[in-house]
Structure 1
Amino acid sequence: MAGHSQFKNIMHRKGAQDAKRAKMFAKIAREIIVSAKSGLPDPNSNPRLRAAIGAARAANMPRDNIERAMKKALGGDDTTNFEEVRYEGYGPGGTAVIVEALTDNRNRTASEVRAAFSKHGGNLGETGSVAFMFDHIGLVRFPKAVGSFDEVFEKAVEAGADNMEEIDDTFEVTTSLDGFAAVRDALGDAYGDQAEAKLIWRPMNTVDCNEEIAQKIFKLVDLLEDNDDVQNVYANFEISDEIMARLG
């Protein structure tokens, strides 16, 4: 009986992982569609599309899924128009949260995001209510296999990057908002679709959270990220290693 229960638990976790992967692929596909529609359909001439395809490959998204998204964007039979929308608010413990979405129905998405904040002890605010607590910067990320730290760092600096760090198995290059396009294009030309490039919101300061607040924040972020329209969630919370170990 214990073996059967363990098998069921493993299958449940695998099912949850598969569902999460499918949702992630759907969000990347949406970004590919929007990118392809917003510029030239050739990734070599459309840096945003190249970055979207890079993100797809970094996530091990099947080639068929990528090609299907491209065909949907260029086939002419898809009349869905996605808008880029940003939501801002306060989460549990006074944490600041920014939510970026691609939606074909602003009212639906706003209602769902507001409900998520309310359910987990937060409040959705007006645009600009927390953005001032973050730096809006560019991020270009590569697998370390593209080359040595010194080589990539030199190319990044020549292109106008602000900083580069080695984090786990990746190089992460950060840029100013104004310098992002030049750095993205230069490093994309050097390393092709292995690059993942996007604008992010980096908190200027962080809020230390106890275990109770941390649990609430994780639930809020999980619920927001589970929304089909939500592409990215940024927040300024800080959780100690000790609390993270207890939360598993």
Structure 2
Amino acid sequence: MARSFEDKRSAHQKIAATLRRQIIRGDLAPGEKLPSTPALMEQYGVAGTTVQKALLMLKHEELLVGQPGKGVFVKGGTQQAVSPTVYMPPAEAGEPYRWITEAAKRSQRGSTKLLDVGTVLPPREVAKAFGLQEGEPALLRKQILLLDDEPTELTCSYYPLDLADGTAMMDRRKIRGGTPTLLNELGYPPRAFVDEVSSEIPTEEEVVALELPKDVPVMLTFRVVYSDEERPIEVSLLTKAAHKYRMRYRLAVT
């Protein structure tokens, strides 16, 4: 017999969750007007202040916008799907990082902001992926990816020092075409990658970097990129706002 379980979230959080799902999945379209506060009060059996708290949450998430004298309308749309495979191939000679060229195809302006470059002791799971010994350092390149000047992804990418040492990856500057292009030029083309995607509570760094509203989870992708002979050449932790993006994979079934 199944045990009983109660959703102990406050009433306004439950209402916001329902409306958020309808917006993200497209049941409430951008520009669509929400029912009035009295109508929502009747629908959910709550007080007006509870409805207003729910709507305020979604306004902070930029999913709703209020128009004085007119009502509350859907501002945000469905989640933007991200297809990792399109970003993996190295950029063509002279072309910018694929994040920028792929954004342009969607009529968006892609850009990057380099935050840090340095030799660090990597997290345990990164060291394990590289096969590093305890205390062995790796190179970290940290940046924010932006779409139309809005922070989209916090990227922490690690590289083994025996591969990165003496290359432009060690410099605190952007790399034309991105590190995939440089690695390819060094004889380490990307051949495969493995993603582990999870939903997590954001750290303070992630909240600030991605300008997240309160109580919004993040989608964290732990990615290992392999070159020839299954050599791991990059391990990245990629963090996005979970309410704005979804991952899209197309895999052949054999």
- Give the helix-richer structure, 1 or 2: 1
Same fold (TM over 0.5): no
- Give the strand-richer structure, 1 or 2: 2
Bigger-Rg structure (1/2):
2
Higher-RCO chain (CA-CA 8 Å, sequence separation at least 6): 1
Name the TM tier (shorter chain). Answer: under 0.3
